[in-house]
Amino acid sequence: MVIKYFRNFNFVCFFSIFLCFISLNANAISAKNELEKRLSKYSSFSASFLQQVQDMNGSTIVKGSGTIQIKKPSLFKLNTYKPDPNTLISDGRNVWYYDPFVQQVTVQTFKRVQSSTPLALLTQNNPKTWDEYIIKSNGNSFNIIPKRKGQITEMSITINKLGAIQKFSFKSKNGQTTEYSFYKFKEANFSYNNFKFKLPKNTNLVDRR
């Protein structure tokens, strides 16, 4: 009788855990599909942003502002004006980082820096891209955790049902959190030439391709 009771108890426990797993998996798939649906609303857009960087203790160490322009797939231009002007551009194959203060440009392949440049995720229109992440949703906020360990441990996107991105943040391995708050978000029709980078005169090129 006791053995039968424990068998039934074990079965109930296992079945409950199984149902819980199925429910969590279904919720994750639902969140992933909803995020893909919302991000697909715009194939290209522009926005202004306010940037805030916090250390592992939550203290703000950097505040900045600038503009972002995105055209899917894989094209983006990030112009930071404050605290120090710099430009980050992807032409789909290479990513160029220009720091006018030190008069230097660093270039790497898009594929190489994609995992360490979270904003590049916003330029993707391939649903399989999101298979590499565990996604949970809470209203308009989506929590994104990479399945593979890397420099980025967690990301978050706040995006409404119309596809307008309001916030995008990511947490680095060292505990530092970077948050972009978008405003003046609007659809834009950019040409490919908008994302071509021309090396400024008297600028040093560091080629890491």
Q: Tens of pLDDT along 178-188?
A: 999 999 999 99
- What's the mean pLDDT when you consider all of the chain? 87
Asked whether residue 148 carries a pLDDT value surpassing 80, the answer given is yes
Pairwise CA distance, residues 161 & 41, whole Å:
9
Strand partners, 181: 50, 167
Q: Are strands 104-109 and 204-207 parallel, antiparallel or unpaired?
A: parallel
Is the preceding peptide bond at 200 cis, omega within 30 degrees of 0? no
Residue by residue, DSSP assigns 20-46 as HHHHHHHHHHHHHHHHHHHHTT-SEEE
Residue span of the structural domain in which 145 resides: 2-207
Q: What is the reported pTM?
A: 0.82
Omega of the bond leading into 146 within 30 degrees of 0 (cis)? no
Q: Report the length, in residues, of the chain.
A: 209
Q: What's the rounded Cα separation, in Å, for the pair 121 and 192? A: 18
Assign 77 to helix, strand or coil: strand
Give the tens place of pLDDT for each residue, 94-124.
Answer: 999 999 999 999 999 998 888 778 888 899 8
The DSSP bridge partners found for residue 44 are 71
CB of 71 closer than 8 Å to CB of 195: yes
pLDDT band with cut points at 50, 70 and 90 for residue 128: confident
User: Cis peptide before 73, with omega less than 30 degrees from 0?
Assistant: yes
| Domain CATH for 86 | 2.50.20.10
Helix (H) or strand (E) holding 17: helix 2-39
Q: Is 176 helix (H, G, I), strand (E, B) or coil?
A: coil
Q: How far is CA 87 from CA 45, 105, 142, 158, 160, in A?
A: 17, 9, 27, 24, 28
- Look at the chain and report how many structural domains it folds into: 1
pLDDT at 15: 44
